[in-house]
Structure formats: C-alpha cells, structure tokens
C-alpha cells in the first residue's frame, strides 16, 4: 500500500515530488525515503552466497578491490582485507607513482577504452596505505592514500558491493557502506 506524500517527513515528500516531476515516476531511480538511491541494479549472488564466498577467499598480503567509478571523481574504489565483509572496505585514492591503476586511460576515449571502463570489476590489489590523507574535491571527501604496486583482475561481474539493494549511478555517489 502506498503512503500519501503528506504522511512522510517534509524532505522525503519534497524528494518524492521532485522525482515525480523530473522523471514522471519515482520507480525509475533517485533517492528514496528508505535511504536508498533507486531500485537495485547491480545483480549478483544472495547475501548467504556472498558471505560463503568471502569466507573461503584466498588470503595473503593483498587487498580485494572493487572499482567504483563516479564521473569527475578521482577516488579509485573500495579496498578490503581478504575474508572481511565489504562493510569494512575503505574508499581510497591511489598513488600511482609506482604503478598505474588498471583503467588509466583517457576520459573521452572510445567505449570500453576510457577511464572508468572497469566499473565494479573486482581486483586483487597489492600495495600499502601511505598514512596520508587526500582531499577528493569533486566528492568533497578526505580519503586515505594507497600506494599501488600491483593488481590482477578477479572478476568483471561480481554483482552488488554492500547489499543486494545497491543502486549504481555513474553521475552520483550512491554506493556507501552501511546501507
């Protein structure tokens, strides 16, 4: 049963009305009063399947990294230690003075050959946290710097990152731990 907009908090009501005016339907995306940014659109395993996969991961002196591309930002994505949930992952900016990141390509290149082509690819990432913090101006965040020394791709289609409810939008910062 749908609630009337008037029964919601004023900001939630405004968000719904704005969504309806801009898209003619709130079911097509945008922030919703439940704290999500749109309908799930990343696919992937069940929560139990993901937990089992993480529990059986190889361990070593590397991190699992998930590329997270949002237009005009310079962070790389999320890193987590092996066998730890994505909820413990940290959004990082790579220091590429020793190794270039996997998608270091022109932003205006041909499709599949441009910066961000590897959105949501999962990698084994080698390197270390430098202890420095970096201001990422376009997302207005202070993020840890990670010295990249190597990487190998694990999969091109791992599915959702934090929750099966994840919604990816390349123009907006929508994937955050804790939802």
Residue 57 shares a structural domain with residue 20 = no
Strands (E), the chain: 63-67, 77-80, 90-95, 122-136, 141-155
Q: Do 23 and 58 have their domain in common?
A: no
88 falls within a domain:
yes
How buried is 28 (Cβ within 10 angstroms: 0-12 exposed, 13-18 middle, 19+ buried)?
exposed
- Residues 109 and 139 grouped into a single domain: yes
The per-residue pLDDT for 176 is: 86
Which residues constitute the domain of residue 148?
A: 47-155
The per-residue pLDDT for range 103-135, each reduced to its tens digit, is 888 888 888 888 888 999 999 999 999 999 999
Chain mean pLDDT for the chain: 82
**pLDDT tens, position by position, 66-104:** 999 999 999 999 999 999 999 999 999 999 999 999 888
Query: Which pLDDT score, from 0 to 100, does residue 142 have?
Result: 97
Judge whether 71 lies within some domain. Answer: yes
Averaged pLDDT for residues 146-171:
94
Token duo for residue 84 = 């730890």
pTM: 0.77
In a domain, 164, yes or no: no
């Amino acid at each position: 049963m749908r609630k009337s907009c008037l029964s919601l908090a004023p900001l939630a009501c405004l968000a719904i009305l704005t969504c309806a005016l801009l898209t003619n339907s709130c079911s097509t995306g945008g922030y919703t009063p439940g704290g999500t940014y749109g309908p799930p659109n990343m696919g992937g395993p069940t929560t139990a399947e993901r937990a089992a996969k993480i529990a059986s991961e190889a361990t070593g002196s590397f991190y699992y990294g998930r590329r997270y591309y949002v237009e005009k930002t310079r962070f790389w994505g999320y890193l987590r230690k092996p066998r730890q949930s994505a909820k413990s992952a940290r959004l990082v900016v790579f220091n590429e003075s020793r190794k270039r990141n996997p998608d270091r390509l022109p932003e205006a290149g041909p499709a599949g050959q441009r910066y961000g082509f590897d959105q949501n690819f999962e990698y084994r990432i080698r390197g270390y946290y430098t202890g420095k913090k970096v201001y990422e101006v376009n997302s207005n965040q202070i993020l840890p710097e990670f010295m990249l020394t190597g990487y190998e791709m694990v999969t091109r289609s791992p599915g959702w990152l934090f929750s099966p409810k994840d919604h990816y939008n390349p123009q907006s910062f929508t994937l955050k731990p804790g939802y």
